[in-house]
Structure 1
Amino acid sequence: MVKRTRFDDADCPVARSVDAIGDWWSLLIVRDAFDGSRRFNEFQRSLGVAKNILAARLRDLVANEILETTPISEGSPYQEYTLTEKGRALFPVIVALRQWGEAFSFADSEPHSELLDRRDGQPLAPLEVHAHDGRLLTSDDVAVAKLS
């Protein structure tokens, strides 16, 4: 098996984030956790991933403090997985990936799921990046500053 490259010492926040999240299975697990999945069998049924891969990804997400485990009931050997504060902070990332996929991964007539505001049932507005003064920013408006 090929050993995965680690980025936990990289000076790039994107590289460290990718290192913490892991891979596509991990992002899909986080997505399912936002959608209400809590138990191993719920994740397995939704994703169709092999049990050993799912177990490894869940273990890594717990180790990276993105998910935490709690007993299903007192005295039960079974546990459920819930998002931590660090995991819940991935919500804008999941929304951004979802909105990008809606815009670029489906034909116009192809059905897909969408996120709706629970209060009014309306689709979410597109995510935007704003400057400290409220201006809308694009990639042309930002620069990376290396800190020493």
Structure 2
Amino acid sequence: MPYSNFASMPCTLSRPAALLGERWTLLLLRQIFLGTRRFEDFQATMDISRSVLTDRLNVLLQENVLKRVPYSEDGRTRHEYRLTEKGRDLYPVLMALRTWGEKWMAPDEEESFHLHHRDCGGGVRAKVECTGCGAELSARDVEVTARQ
């Protein structure tokens, strides 16, 4: 199946995969969550070509994950990229990938930065929980049923 068909599948996992599955997109979102906002800064921190960066930013703008916000520099109006509510809601997705990556793909000494809760200093991790009772869940705790 062609990659472009994922976006039209009636599946709540295939549509996000179509948006986030391109290899630069998650890294671009990582940089945005780390505070990068300007085109030149993305290029410098990611070693990404201008054309690929432009394309990825345009897709995220079209999907309302990002918005362009004007700012002035040297008397010129320029734009920076900010997360929308839809974009901010991707934070747990990135944290889940990071949590998995830390456990299975990177020894502790390879971490380039640590994430800590501002208030208490504790570490950060993603978790899946029940909306009814708040219990933390694994795949074995979840039953899948057809929609009625």
Q: One fold, TM greater than 0.5?
A: yes
Residue 34 of structure 1 deviates from its aligned partner by 0.8
Runs of at least 4 residues off by over 4 Å = none
Return the structure number with greater helix share.
2
Question: Within 2, Cα distance between the matches of 1:61 and 1:138?
Answer: 30
Matches within 5 A, 1:56-95: 56-73=55-72, 76-95=76-95
Matches within 5 A, 1:22-37: 22-37=21-36
Question: Within 2, Cα distance between the matches of 1:34 and 1:109?
Answer: 22
SS at match of 2:35: coil
- 2:117 — aligned with what? 117
Alignment check: 8 A CA contact 1:62 1:68 kept = yes
Q: How many aligned positions are there?
A: 145
Alignment check: 8 A CA contact 1:32 1:43 kept = yes
- 2:144 — aligned with what? 144
- Which 5+ residue runs of structure 1 have no aligned equivalent? none
SS at match of 1:28: helix
Residue 51 of structure 1 deviates from its aligned partner by 0.9
Tell me the TM-score normalised to structure 1 length: 0.86
SS at match of 1:130: coil
Change (3 A) 1:79 1:98: same
Residue 22 of structure 1 deviates from its aligned partner by 4.3
- 2:128 — aligned with what? 129
Which one-letter code corresponds to 2:95 in the other structure?
A: V
SS at match of 1:129: coil
Alignment check: 8 A CA contact 2:3 2:18 kept = no
Tell me the TM-score normalised to structure 2 length: 0.86
Residue 122 of structure 1 deviates from its aligned partner by 2.8
Question: Within 1, Cα distance between the matches of 2:118 and 2:55?
Answer: 33
Alignment check: 8 A CA contact 1:67 1:84 kept = yes
Which one-letter code corresponds to 1:37 in the other structure?
A: T
Question: Within 2, Cα distance between the matches of 1:49 and 1:87?
Answer: 21
Is residue 38 from structure 1 mapped to residue 37 from structure 2 by the alignment? yes
Question: Within 1, Cα distance between the matches of 2:106 and 2:127?
Answer: 21
SS at match of 1:49: coil
Residue 42 of structure 1 deviates from its aligned partner by 0.9
Question: Within 2, Cα distance between the matches of 1:34 and 1:55?
Answer: 18
RMSD: 2.1
- 1:19 — aligned with what? 18
